[in-house]
Amino acid sequence: MSVAIGLGLMEFPFAGAADYWRWVDLCEAGGVDSLWQTDRLVSRQPILECMAAMAALAGRTRRLRFGMNVVSLALRDPVLLAKQCATIDVLSQGRLLPGFGIGSPRGPEWTAMHLDPKTRDLISVITKVHARTERGLRQYLLRAMRDGCTAHEVLDALLMAFPALGLSRITWAIDVILEMDLPEFRPEALGVPGSWHDLAAEDSIAPGAVERIECDGRAAFVHRGASGFMVYDSRCPHEVTNIPHLALNGTTLTCPKHEWVFDLTTGACIDKGDRPLNQRRSKIERGRLLAFW
């Protein structure tokens, strides 16, 4: 096993370029393995632009390796960045140590560069699809939707990433997303017309009762109140857990995953969480209760 020393710079703590190069020369002569430059495009303190710094280090040094710590991919054109990396790597004879990130969500660069911060969310989703981490995809997809990404934007991003992801990863991701059954990804929300589904005979649900009904691959909680039927998607609005019948206690429903509690007479979340159950349109037709999705 060997141990190497790498030194990182974020701010530029030198009086000028001469001091910087003196420090670089000392590192080169003194056996330091690598230098690392943080990437900030907007900052109160002076900070070198990291790709320009990489190119300058490639020309100044002969032995030292150097890397970005890490370069914000979402703030740059990826094709141009790849070409810059390849150029610096060739000219430095393989001494570039590239590191890529997405960019801080709170960084001022998004505004300064007129970029939509949702880009970061979409790239996060794509990286999880690329790594095929189902848990990560679920987590980052929900975060993207919370941050305002639309279903169409997510689907567009996946298709745009086709050259990197390939068909099998995209179909895997679509399967995971469909399984999550997010309202935004339902056919009707995507402009595909939905249809009415026959849940039960009207008389089979007693006044005041709640039933969990499975129908055409979906499940719903149905409450028959004084003013009619309320039909709710069985998937929790938090992280789309399919809430089982066992979670029912009278007209109160407690999601087993993080214990959000819902009142089935109104659909409201009454404890722990902050979002109501997703209600489905319903109607009675010839004595049958129908729901729309």
To ligand FES, the closest distance from the beta carbon of 168 in angstroms equals 28
Instruction: Please choose, from the candidates 264, 82, 44, the residue with its C-alpha nearest in 3D space to the C-alpha of residue 164.
Output: 82
Taking the C-alpha atoms of residue 208 and residue 147, their distance in angstroms, rounded to an integer, is 38
In the bound complex, what is the minimum distance in angstroms from residue 270's beta carbon to ligand FES? 13
Which CB atom, from 54 or from 236, has the smaller least distance to ligand FES? 236
CB of 145 to ligand FES, least distance (A): 14
Closer by beta carbon to ligand FES, 39 or else 181:
181
Measured from the CB atom, the residue of 204 and 241 that comes closer to ligand FES is 241
Nearer to ligand FES, 143 or 238 (CB): 238
**C-beta closer to ligand FES: residue 204 or 242:** 242
167 alpha carbon, distance to own chain's centre: 20
Closest to ligand FES by CB, 177 vs 236, is 236
Which of 254, 253, 203 has the alpha carbon at shortest distance from 224? 203
- Identity at 150, one-letter amino acid code: T
Residue 138: CB minimum distance to ligand FES, A: 10
CA separation for the pair 47, 11 (Å, rounded): 5
What are the counts of helices (DSSP H) followed by strands (DSSP E) for the chain?
8, 16
Please report, as ranges, the residues that interact with ligand FES according to CB under 6 A. Answer: 236, 238-239, 241, 255, 257-258, 260, 273
Cβ contacts of residue 240 below 8 Å, gap of 6+? Answer: 138, 142, 180, 181, 182
Query: Cα(261)–Cα(277) distance, rounded to whole angstroms?
Result: 10
Strands of the sheet containing 96-97, edge to edge, are: 6-9, 34-37, 65-68, 96-97
Residue 240: CB minimum distance to ligand FES, A: 7
The answer to whether residues 126 and 119 touch, using CB atoms and an 8 Å cutoff, is no
Closest CB 81 distance from ligand FES, rounded Å: 38
What H or E segment, with its residue span, contains residue 198? strand 196-201
Q: Which is nearer to ligand FES, 109 or 233 (CB)?
A: 233
Q: Which burial class, exposed, middle or buried, applies to 45 when counting CB atoms under 10 A from its CB (0-12, 13-18, 19+)?
A: exposed
Residue 164 CB, shortest distance to ligand FES, in Å, is: 31
